[in-house]
Structure 1
Amino acid sequence: MRRVAKLSAACLTTAALALAATACGKTSSDDASSSSSSGGGKGGVKIGLAYDVGGRGDRSFNDSAARGADKAEKQFGGSIKELTAKTSDTEADREQRLQDLADAGYNPIVAVGYAYAPSVQKIAAKYPKTSFGIVDSVVDGKNIDSITFTEEQSSYLAGVAAALKTKKNHIGFIGGVDNPLIKKFQAGYAQGVHDTNPKVKVDVQYLSHGQDTSGFSSPDKGQQAAQGMLDNGADVIYTAAGSSGTGAIEAVNGVKGAWAIGVDSDQYNIPGMEKYKSSILTSAVKNVDVGVFDFIQSVKNGKPLSGNNVYSLAKGGVSLATSGGYLKDIQPKLDAAKQQIVDGKIKVKTTP
């Protein structure tokens, strides 16, 4: 779902054009707040969440962030305020969203998605006593925790699984938008496939390009792309495209013997996906919830995390889901590949 690089003043303009690598369907005017069962008693935290497009309910990336905040709210008390982006957002919109949370006294504030990078850098500087976290980008600042992941590593394992499960030596990858972050998913997947079986063909399709982020919030586009790949002979399809992935999974579910690979959350266990369980081979899980919880906990404990905190395969930051038991026959090979990555014997690419 790009090699994460530090933001400098020179690259802020470019970064501002980037939109985060997941999507669903709320708008920037959508907001929600919730109070913990403890009633926000003494010692509770006021958590501000600025979601990427899609927000809570995308069954993927944003939902994972929400789980981390929910866990913190339950454990520490307090409240959560949620604001959600829309695809037409400007940089001013993102800045205002963060500033609104800061002005309302929320601390910490978590920006979900690298589209927020320039706005986090700007607003964090204006509120030095507030701790900011950002998912999927590295932003310098004493009060900023950059929460990043090695998505290519879990995608590699998904590629190994796909290569071992395909009956036709023909599989597919669907990306939401052709940006550097999503290309990390593609790169790892393709490498895992070809390291396992060089004869397997990998079809690649992106649903939108450049500043058009509709590829992250269009299940119909995901379904059409997957159907095209299935018609062309692919029998395993991995989709890294936010809520568009639900459409791809639906298409795969309609073809006997075909497999879908989910992303970010363990989509086999996501509410609303029950009827597709028989077709979800696995999911390349990105534990955004762990990074978000760690950050909130650090603020609660008075020792806010800062700098770039990388959640890797070795640290349990990414993984390959085993729900459904469909990987049991190939688990030893997956375990071996995982260990080689952890040991540094396999270097996973971050660009196709």
Structure 2
Amino acid sequence: MARGIDTKCIHLEEDEGQCSHYGALSYPIYQTATYAHPGVGQSTGFDYSRLQNPTREHLEKMVAALENGIDAFALSSGMAAISLLMEMFRQGDHIIADSDLYGGSIRLFHNVNEKNGVEFSSIDCCRDDVESYVKENTKAIYIETPTNPMMNVTDIRKMADIAKRHNLILIVDNTFMSPYFQNPLDLGADVVIHSGTKYLSGHNDTLAGFIVTNREDIQEKLRFLIKTTGAGLAPFDCWLVLRGMKTLGIRMERSQENAEQIAAWLQQQKAVTRVIYPGLPDHPGHEIMKKQARGFGAMLTIQLESKEFALAILEKVRMIRFAESLGGVETLVTYPTTQTHADVPKEIRERNGITESTLRFSVGIENIEDLIGELEKVFAEIEEEKNDGKKS
């Protein structure tokens, strides 16, 4: 019988019934760089931790199981994971990439990969005719869904159909949804990317990145690349992610529940001109999300009436933190213009809908009354200051 994802976050089925590692429930941290050999031509299965480490191997098996892949690769950060994946491509290759991606991904593509001869077409994969951009040298389609930060939803099955017709690799960054809510490989994707720093670890205490695949040819290439480039995740960081993953399910459920209520509250505020959250029925991707995911996640973006109002929120929040990250137990608010997308040219930001009055929220697991109470206080203070300014 197939295991529920909550159980898969805690137990690796192949290890059940064994009493290895002295019966330790918490998987041990194998803090070693190298391993002794029993004899010439003999190995314990581990030779050098750049190649593989027992703690990292266990984490990779857990993440692969969550995404229903055949293998996973744990890297030192989300960007290290994307960088490793890009090493699969060579000079002259062409990749179709969504235009609304995390700013670090855009920076990597246009400042590193293009320098190395890889060509990119940045398009709106939700609305553009993606197939019309396929060329003879096209090798892959790269998407996030929902996108960062504008929460655009791409139909993964539709992208998979296009990829298969043209023998392309479909890559999906699944960081915003986590494996708990969405499994792109089940929908036809070939590769899934995660910033494990975010929901998988969930506590803002470590950096990590993951690549997951269900194709043996890609698995073989990535195994060679990870041992060659050397950015595998360190044992202690692997253990931190393993510890965080045990509560992935309850964290995602609570964060999503809070996000839904905050989105509804924000819709009632006159200073908020737009609330962008896939869980709202008026979101253009709402119905697609219902078909391809088990939830709507805990990320939401808002447009405010002015830059001044946005900056005032950032200055006044206290329990909600003004910080550049997402996916932890704490609620964070981010200013994409100067943080996540600072290196993206202004004309591209604005074309994607990111303005100086855009804020992105990563909703955490705090008490919802406390979260809304703080927002009520912050919004009331700003409105009061505005009115006082008009009087004077």
Taking structure 2 as the reference length, what is the TM-score of the superposition? 0.32
Structure with greater strand share of residues:
1
Structure with higher Rg: it is 2
Higher RCO, Cα 8 Å, sep 6+: 1
Taking structure 1 as the reference length, what is the TM-score of the superposition? 0.35
